[in-house]
């Protein structure tokens, strides 16, 4: 493998890893604030991809309008889910909310099949899918733009949690709901905001990954599983961990495809998960069984 080809493979893997990072951050934002591990996060991504496809391709509206409509719509669906299906279960423990999100994932898949059907759709690339030569590399604009958007949004989310009052309030609500309420923080609003942000990030990840392959109702699984593994590898609830975990997983997948066999691409995901559980259960950036750093 020559240097240019290795760099091209690295860029392709980092682009996929950027998408996994968005999903991982969505997992982390929800879990870090509400202690809910949303198993349906990947299905939020699939729903976002379908909504954007409906607005952009089927209704022939501008791409940016489809993107905004999808992110807002899925964010609002996530808020509704938190309010109706999960909030009554908080007092029962994390196991009950986790099981509820599993059911939610099946519900979203079924809804997608009922509305858009079980067939696969080919989604056009808004950024361009014709490779261009850059320093001896064949770079696809869609890949480069996907990586740039993912990293910029990841950094924006990190700064939101670290440097803003809203981020501080969300972290405080996660630490102690009762004390946060006594200090004037509207905890339920913070929980709703966490789910809105997580849903919107999932939708954006689905929109970015849809043009890379075919879009179908099982897109949520192919998006959610690597995103979940990236979140766990980095340390659940750790935003730097989500970024590193997502990029690392995407790059490992890319090199596995070219160096070993494309059939082992998914095996890398599960292998990384098993290895992390065995050797470092709290993840790369976790401080304990549950990551505390944002």
174 falls within a domain: yes
Distance CA 31, CA 34 (A): 5
Distance CA 199, CA 193 (A): 10
Other beta carbons within 10 Å of 2: 8
**Average pLDDT of 102-129?**
90
The pLDDT of residue 257 is above 60: yes
177 falls within a domain: yes
Alpha helical stretches, state H, the chain: 3-34, 41-53, 63-81, 94-116, 141-163, 165-175, 177-182, 187-209, 219-234, 239-259, 265-279
Q: Supply the range of the domain harboring residue 52.
A: 3-218
Tell me the pTM. Answer: 0.90
pLDDT in tens, 178-225: 777 777 888 889 999 999 999 999 999 999 999 887 899 889 998 999
| Encoded tokens for 82 | 């938190």
Distance CA 282, CA 147 (A): 27
105 falls within a domain: yes
Q: What is the pLDDT of residue 287?
A: 55
Q: What is the largest CA-CA distance in the chain?
A: 61
285 falls within a domain: no
| Encoded tokens for 250 | 């995407």
| Residues of the chain above pLDDT 90, percent | 45
pLDDT in tens, 131-148: 787 766 778 888 889 999
20 falls within a domain: yes
The pLDDT of residue 28 is above 70: yes
7 falls within a domain: yes
C-alpha distance across the termini of the chain, in Å: 38
Q: What is the pLDDT of residue 227?
A: 92
The region of weakest confidence among 68-77, 139-148, 282-291 is 282-291
Nearest of 252, 145, 289, 135 to residue 209 by alpha carbon: 145
**Mean pLDDT (the chain, rounded):** 87
Which range of 4-18, 64-78, 171-185, 247-261 scores highest in mean pLDDT? It is 64-78
190 falls within a domain: yes
| Structural domains counted in the chain | 1
Q: What is the pLDDT of residue 293?
A: 41
233 falls within a domain: no
Other beta carbons within 10 Å of 85: 15
Q: What is the pLDDT of residue 260?
A: 74
**Average pLDDT of 248-273?**
81
């Amino acid at each position: 493998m020559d240097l240019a080809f290795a760099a091209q493979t690295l860029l392709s893997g980092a682009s996929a890893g950027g998408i996994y990072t968005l999903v991982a951050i969505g997992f982390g934002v929800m879990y870090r604030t509400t202690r809910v591990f949303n198993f349906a996060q990947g299905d939020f991504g699939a729903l976002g991809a379908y909504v954007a496809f409906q607005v952009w391709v089927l209704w022939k509206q501008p791409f940016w309008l489809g993107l905004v409509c999808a992110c807002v719509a899925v964010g609002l669906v996530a808020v509704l889910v938190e309010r109706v299906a999960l909030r009554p279960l908080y007092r029962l423990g994390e196991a009950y909310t986790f099981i509820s999100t599993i059911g939610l994932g099946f519900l979203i898949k079924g809804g997608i099949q009922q509305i858009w059907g079980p067939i696969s759709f080919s989604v056009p690339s808004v950024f361009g899918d014709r490779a261009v030569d850059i320093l001896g590399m064949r770079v696809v604009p869609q890949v480069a733009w996907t990586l740039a958007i993912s990293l910029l949004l990841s950094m924006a989310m990190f700064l939101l949690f670290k440097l803003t009052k809203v981020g501080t309030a969300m972290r405080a609500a996660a630490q102690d709901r009762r004390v946060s309420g006594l200090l004037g923080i509207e905890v339920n609003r913070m929980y709703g905001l966490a789910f809105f942000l997580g849903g919107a990030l999932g939708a954006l990840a689905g929109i970015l990954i849809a043009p890379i392959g075919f879009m179908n109702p099982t897109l949520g699984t192919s998006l959610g599983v690597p995103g979940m593994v990236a979140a766990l590898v980095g340390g659940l609830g750790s935003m730097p961990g989500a970024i590193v975990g997502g990029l690392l997983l995407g790059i490992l997948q890319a090199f596995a495809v070219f160096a070993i066999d494309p059939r082992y691409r998914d095996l890398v995901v599960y292998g990384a998960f098993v290895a992390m559980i065995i050797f470092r259960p709290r993840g790369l950036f976790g401080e304990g069984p549950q990551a505390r750093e944002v």
